[in-house]
């Protein structure tokens, strides 16, 4: 390290989430962290800190520094809301029944097509702000409520525009294969032709997506149709992610692992063979306890099997108007522990290191170590276990985005 740095944080403990540092959180107690040019340049025990003159010094007041949180699976750009379906489901109808009667994803498609780009942007802002207030510094946003070329592009452009106005890195994913649009009723293969021949090539030309996603389920697309979307994405040099095995087992996980997918998301119904395939391919399992909770599902993802196989487990909100209208990644950490059996350390890894990997970004973020972006959150807490344990009162003391203090007002 050079003798000067932009920022030096001391009187702090670091939950580095770096697997090369021993202990559940990769903890460094009584640490010092030096930042220059938006990146961490030194991190270690304060007593080992080389002489460093900093432009700014921060006293962490004995709190804990964690990596900025990463929400790796959201659908937060959409029109309208589905509060009436919430009431119907409370009355006993299932998510699938609501979807088959013209509600579900298709009701959001109608509202999103009708909304202007400006209306979509204004509607998305409070959802994004809620995540940022909790210390989220990277968010993935999917399209998939357009299901036609113009609206898919409108959603993705809106997502990109958010990153120009808020201190957050936004990655975008094209989810045109989310549901069958009504005008293609009974012609799913023809809609997949549209996705592969028009929508994805246009999205790639405009560089509007960092990945391609699809929903493989009885109410969406078959394994064979999803394989076509994967082949198309690979032809465009875009990595893939798959919504799979949420409501039933389709076999999509094995297909996704065979294509070296970044992640398979939901995974409630995966088999032991699916888990082995994910372990072999290094595909991340993204757990979405908010959707499980909202839909009052009873089939838990096999966390013990995933853990034993060494599959990386990320946690995310799945923030969307139907199955998870909950803009709180911290609550997902709590649910990941209470509903799915994660440890508090696994929950924090799930929204940092593993979430970065689910986005193909683990070379730049998701942990605290020299060389990575200085996306960090300072928490006034005694132990990182509090992050999954406490909801509401425990708030970030300071949030850093690329080394810049972006703590809200």
Q: What residues line the site for Zn ion (CB under 5 A)?
A: 318
Tell me whether residue 148 or residue 318 sits nearer to Zn ion (CB atom). Answer: 318
Tell me whether residue 201 or residue 325 sits nearer to Zn ion (CB atom). Answer: 325
- Angle CA(239)–CA(278)–CA(219) in degrees, nearest 5? 70
Question: 141: closest CA among 58, 211, 77?
Answer: 77
> Shortest gap between Cβ of 338 and Zn ion (angstroms)?
21
| Distance of alpha carbon 220 from alpha carbon 383, whole angstroms | 43
Question: 9: closest CA among 36, 29, 33, 41?
Answer: 33
Query: Which residue, judged by CB position, is nearest to Zn ion in the bound state?
Result: 318
User: Quick one: CA dihedral 12, 15, 18, 23, positive or negative?
Assistant: positive
φ, ψ of residue 112 to 5 degrees: the values are -75, -40
| Distance of alpha carbon 225 from alpha carbon 217, whole angstroms | 11
* Residue linked to tokens 């970065």: 356
Tell me whether residue 134 or residue 318 sits nearer to Zn ion (CB atom). Answer: 318
> Shortest gap between Cβ of 157 and Zn ion (angstroms)?
20
> Shortest gap between Cβ of 230 and Zn ion (angstroms)?
17
**Percent helix, strand and coil across the chain, each to the nearest 5:** 35, 25, 40
- Angle CA(348)–CA(352)–CA(353) in degrees, nearest 5? 105
> Shortest gap between Cβ of 320 and Zn ion (angstroms)?
6
> Shortest gap between Cβ of 246 and Zn ion (angstroms)?
9
Tell me whether residue 201 or residue 360 sits nearer to Zn ion (CB atom). Answer: 360
The 3-state DSSP class for residue 29 equals: strand
Tell me whether residue 42 or residue 292 sits nearer to Zn ion (CB atom). Answer: 292
Tell me whether residue 35 or residue 242 sits nearer to Zn ion (CB atom). Answer: 242
Please report, for residues 188, 194, 368, the alpha-carbon distance to residue 220 in angstroms, rounded to integers and kept in the order given: 9, 15, 39
Tell me whether residue 274 or residue 318 sits nearer to Zn ion (CB atom). Answer: 318
> Shortest gap between Cβ of 73 and Zn ion (angstroms)?
6
> Shortest gap between Cβ of 75 and Zn ion (angstroms)?
6
């Amino acid at each position: 390290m050079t003798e000067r740095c932009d920022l030096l944080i001391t009187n702090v403990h670091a939950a580095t989430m770096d697997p090369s540092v021993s202990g559940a959180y990769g903890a460094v107690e009584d640490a010092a962290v030096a930042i220059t040019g938006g990146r961490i340049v030194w991190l270690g025990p304060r007593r080992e800190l080389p002489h460093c003159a900093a432009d700014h010094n921060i006293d962490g007041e004995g709190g804990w520094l964690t990596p900025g949180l990463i929400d790796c699976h959201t659908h937060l750009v959409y029109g309208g809301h589905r509060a009436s379906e919430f009431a119907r489901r409370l009355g006993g109808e299932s998510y699938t029944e609501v979807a088959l009667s013209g509600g579900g994803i298709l009701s959001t498609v109608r509202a999103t097509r009708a909304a202007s780009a400006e209306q979509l942007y204004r509607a998305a802002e409070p959802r994004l702000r809620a995540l940022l207030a909790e210390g989220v510094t990277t968010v993935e946003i999917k399209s998939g409520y357009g299901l036609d070329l113009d609206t898919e592009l409108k959603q993705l452009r809106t997502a990109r525009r958010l990153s120009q106005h808020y201190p957050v890195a936004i990655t975008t994913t094209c989810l045109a294969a989310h549901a069958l649009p009504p005008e293609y009723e009974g012609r799913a293969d023809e809609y997949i032709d549209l996705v592969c021949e028009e929508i994805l090539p246009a999205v790639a030309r405009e560089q509007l997506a960092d990945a391609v996603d699809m929903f493989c389920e009885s109410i969406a697309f078959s394994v064979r149709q999803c394989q076509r979307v994967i082949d198309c994405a690979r032809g465009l040099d875009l990595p893939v992610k798959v919504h799979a095995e949420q409501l039933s087992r389709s076999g999509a996980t094995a297909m996704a692992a065979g294509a070296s997918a970044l992640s398979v998301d939901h995974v409630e119904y995966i088999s032991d063979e699916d888990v082995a395939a994910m372990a072999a391919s290094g595909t991340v399992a993204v757990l979405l306890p908010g959707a499980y909770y909202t839909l009052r599902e009873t089939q838990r993802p096999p966390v013990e099997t995933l853990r034993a196989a060494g599959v990386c487990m990320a946690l995310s909100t799945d923030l969307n108007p139907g199955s998870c209208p909950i803009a709180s990644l911290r609550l997902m950490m709590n649910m990941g522990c209470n509903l799915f059996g994660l440890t508090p350390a696994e929950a924090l890894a799930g929204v940092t290191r593993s979430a970065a990997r689910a986005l193909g970004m683990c070379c730049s973020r998701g942990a605290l170590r020299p060389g990575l972006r200085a996306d960090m959150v300072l928490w006034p807490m005694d132990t990182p276990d509090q992050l999954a344990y406490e909801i509401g009162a425990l708030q970030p003391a300071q949030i850093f985005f690329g080394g810049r203090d972006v703590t809200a007002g």
